[in-house]
Structure 1
Amino acid sequence: MDEISTPSQEWLAARLSEALGSGRVVTAPADLEPFLHEERGLYRSRSGIVVLPRSTEEVAAAVSICAEAGVSIVPQGGNSGLVGGAVAGEGEVLISLARMNRILSIDPVDFTMTVEAGAILETIQDAAEAAGCLFPLSLGAQGSCQIGGNIATNAGGINVLRYGNTRDLVLGLEAVLPDGRIWNGLRALHKDNTGYALKHLFIGSEGTLGIVTKAVLKLFPLPQEQQLALCALGTIDDALTLLSRLKGRAGDSVTAFELISGFALDLACGHSGAARPIAEAHPWFVLLELSGSQGGSALRDTLEESLGEALEQAIIGDAVIAESLDQAASFWRLRERIPEAQKSIGASIKHDVSVPVSRIPQFVSEAGAAVVEALPGTRICVFGHLGDGNLHYNLSPPADASDAAFMARYKELNAIVHDIAHRLDGSFSAEHGVGLLKAAELRRYKDPLEIELMQRVKAAFDPQGRMNPGKLLGTI
């Protein structure tokens, strides 16, 4: 018992290999390496064991062995998160869902798809399209992120305005609990009014309550018409006016409404070598999309009419409507390349905030003034999902400042931005989660009673605190 209570890595690896079979346990340093890095380079995992199960039963077996041995577990999806939510410490075991990547079934009548948690988001999108359906979750990392990670972080993306967050796209779940038992909530029901909706506890829990292993996803009819436009504007207030006009005319057909500052667009164009879609400089741009399942040109007509009126009334300064799928894709690439382009001008202090949509102009104005007052010359890169109130408010160093000097101001600048978002009834984390990076913000901004209630949920599921320790509530 003494050995099991404080097992060596060698003993634990051998025990896991014996239970799960050949090829399921990784311990060689070179083989561990891909699982140890973290997307932003802020952390590095120190685990000496990675488990690669191929089934829910194998996940349960691995979790049971670790629970009996008193060893903590860190679930890992595509390892593309931005807040250190899948980083493992010394002596902790990483469980990667990468090999559990099957699409188990697609039902185009019920508009559902059942998948394993390791399925890549882009693979899910493609499978849905092949069946004449749409799975609308869409984000920059979709070629590598896994649906289990999307569920664990309640991922957002560009289509939240029309379809909601991941939480709105999940009908049922299967999960392995911290003691190794399997909870089967894998039901394809839109209505199930039989008590607490346990699936919602796992969605957004960042792997602290259990490991999601399968999911039933909600599908939609495949759009038959999509129209994309890039608009230039003088103010964010004008962007909100345009959004209101479009929603009034097109309703739920307004699928995406992305705000891009002129500075952010210049960065993306310069970094990629692409010509500016609108040659004249403007303070703000909006990339908007309308989509519908009826086909024809009704949405094109609506868009042209709406933008024409907006031009006449000086709500927008210019606009270009994508004339082909290739041109539409080139517009989206510019939007997606902003984070990469920002790296080219130095270190960055990133914020994933949300405020009520109507307060976005006030937030941008107040945050910009406060940041520049604290550190004159700070370059502010603003882009994000204006339609649902979520902005990526990223700061780059003054042109004459070193990265080290800039990052030394991290806590100060971070607090300035988050304090303003909080004062405007917003959130310090709109879609990226809390992880390790923002645990202190949780303590700073959450109501004490809310934290207490979350702690009680955590204790009920994981009384030993062994599931993804240190993340979310684990540090409180």
Structure 2
Amino acid sequence: MNNELLQTLRNITGTSHVLSEGDLTAWEQDWRKRARGKALAVVRPASTAEVAEVVKACAAAGVSLVAQGGNTGLVCGSIPDETGKQVVLSLQRMNAVREVDAANLTMTVEAGCILQTLQETAEKAGFLFPLSLAAEGSCTIGGNLATNAGGTQVVRYGNARELCLGLEVVTPQGEIWEGLSGLRKDNTGYDLRDLFIGSEGTLGIITSATMKLYPMPAAQLTAWAAVPSMEHAVTLLGLAHQHLGAGLTGFEVMGQFALRLVAKHFPQQRVPLYLDTPFCVLLENSDHESETHAREQFERLLEVALEQGCVTDAVVAENLTQAHQLWHVRESIPLAQAEEGLNIKHDISISVSRIPDFVRETDELLQKAIPGVRMVNFGHLGDGNLHYNVQAPAAGDTKAFLREREEEVNTIVYDAVARFDGSISAEHGVGSLKLDKLEHHKSPVALGMMRAIKQALDPQNVMNPGRVLRA
């Protein structure tokens, strides 16, 4: 039966685009190397029509599919399981920019288009596409939408969901929903677009999307500030909203230990102001008037912040090169943490006002449970999203720490998130890594509705089974 299916898939996409032998690590192993699955085959269609035919063939054969973009996810949601019976459907060949509509301020792209390509295409046309994250050179827009990715400019522009106006989707039955209109108003029933965004490939396969564009700002300035506590970082955020308004496009917080790791593992990078302060904040001001106006706003903000004591020192990038260097430090934290050794990652969201208490309380609980544990705390404070990561004690065995203490650490953190009315996944998704935790922390009513939607749209459980929801 499998040989018959493989031959059908070869007939659809071409023999060279059905991979069933050789080294399939790039598709079978997740980016963090936390898990490795086994695929029946990796299929690489070149068009939406081919995707639809592949889905029909797999559904007829009773074989499940795992849609995959750049495979940069962090929750093991885009790799096959270990059975060797799943087909990985890679969208990487579907990477065209179909249209830039300047009057409508939209761009229509295929799901396999690299995020950086969207940014560069928009810039060449004189526009801004604001979704920005560390993996933008390799992640794809289909994956960004499937996980409702966030990034560094959510505070102004929102998650991937807020940036999307329309989708083209192949359903679990191999039908094509053509919803790429790009309308900003369409009140004709259920919002199917938002249903598929964030569903992690469990309800259908996103093959193309119409995304919003924005006017290019006249100036983008970056500042780096030392703050004496997380409470002061929250105060600074309030001042930034007050003084910069909609110009505040980025607000990142970084703990001292996270920055120490960057300085240790990437000594060529200059990390400012971190040695004498527990936290640093990275701010971005996008101004549609002029650079002079943007700089005046920043200087006034920092002057007030220094007077109020919520900032102890600050630097403003003098040019684009310096700004890129500051952002590069922030983006290097996950890489530096990986260099330090295996670690336990958390992607959580808490109401901004409650983050200081959450961090203080949870830090204390973890230190009490595991003396010497090190906190790599950083993230998008502007929208309440923290990457609250836990590193083994300095002299510890990192593999043993991950193997023996991960469940304990996760329980401490996620129980604290629940006490603070937060979410255990802000922008990375659930995948298979958080499947058990979602069952425990999500409302039974919400889980019941989610299962009803899954059953209605995918009764054969063809699409990415065992991810987000249990089969």
CA-CA distance at 1:348 after TM superposition: 0.6
In structure 2, what is the Cα distance between the partners aligned to 1:306 and 1:381?
A: 28
- 2:409 is aligned with what amino acid? L
Identity %: 49
2:319 maps to what in 1? Answer: 324
CA-CA distance at 1:279 after TM superposition: 6.5
The answer on 1:352 being equivalent to 2:347 is: yes
Secondary structure of the 1:192 match is: coil
The answer on 1:139 being equivalent to 2:127 is: no
Q: 1:186 to 1:69 in 2, by over 3 A?
A: same
CA-CA distance at 1:308 after TM superposition: 1.5
CA-CA distance at 1:280 after TM superposition: 4.6
Instruction: Decide whether the 8 Å contact of 2:226 with 2:274 is kept in 1.
Output: no
What is the TM-score with the length of structure 1 in the denominator? 0.96
Equivalent position to 1:63, from 44, 55, 65:
55
2:26 maps to what in 1? Answer: 34
Equivalent position to 1:453, from 449, 453, 471:
449
1:258 maps to what in 2? Answer: 252
In structure 1, what is the Cα distance between the partners aligned to 2:209 and 2:63?
A: 27
The answer on 1:14 being equivalent to 2:1 is: no
CA-CA distance at 1:107 after TM superposition: 1.1
Instruction: Decide whether the 8 Å contact of 1:108 with 1:132 is kept in 2.
Output: no
1:4 maps to what in 2? Answer: none
33-42 vs 172-181, greater mean Cα deviation: 33-42
Aligned length: 467
- 2:272 is aligned with what amino acid? P
- 1:52-451 alignment, distance < 5 Å: 52-89=44-81, 90-273=84-267, 274-278=269-273, 280-407=275-402, 408-451=404-447
Q: 1:382 to 1:22 in 2, by over 3 A?
A: same
CA-CA distance at 1:272 after TM superposition: 1.1
CA-CA distance at 1:13 after TM superposition: 1.1
1:3 maps to what in 2? Answer: none
Instruction: Decide whether the 8 Å contact of 1:101 with 1:117 is kept in 2.
Output: yes
In structure 2, what is the Cα distance between the partners aligned to 1:306 and 1:214?
A: 41
- Report runs of 4+ in structure 1 exceeding 4 Å deviation: none
Instruction: Decide whether the 8 Å contact of 2:376 with 2:390 is kept in 1.
Output: yes
Gap regions ≥5 residues in structure 1:
1-6
Deviations, residues 20-58 of structure 1 (Å, cap 9, x unaligned): 33433112213x332112111111120031111000000
Instruction: Decide whether the 8 Å contact of 2:265 with 2:336 is kept in 1.
Output: yes
- 1:412 is aligned with what amino acid? E
- 1:417 is aligned with what amino acid? V
In structure 2, what is the Cα distance between the partners aligned to 1:280 and 1:14?
A: 61
In structure 2, what is the Cα distance between the partners aligned to 1:418 and 1:244?
A: 27
Gap regions ≥5 residues in structure 2:
none
CA-CA distance at 1:12 after TM superposition: 1.5
Secondary structure of the 2:252 match is: strand
What is the TM-score with the length of structure 2 in the denominator? 0.97
Secondary structure of the 2:223 match is: strand
In structure 2, what is the Cα distance between the partners aligned to 1:233 and 1:356?
A: 20
In structure 1, what is the Cα distance between the partners aligned to 2:7 and 2:277?
A: 62
CA-CA distance at 1:234 after TM superposition: 0.6
Instruction: Decide whether the 8 Å contact of 1:120 with 1:142 is kept in 2.
Output: yes
CA-CA distance at 1:296 after TM superposition: 3.8
In structure 2, what is the Cα distance between the partners aligned to 1:270 and 1:178?
A: 48
Instruction: Decide whether the 8 Å contact of 2:231 with 2:356 is kept in 1.
Output: yes
- 1:466 is aligned with what amino acid? V
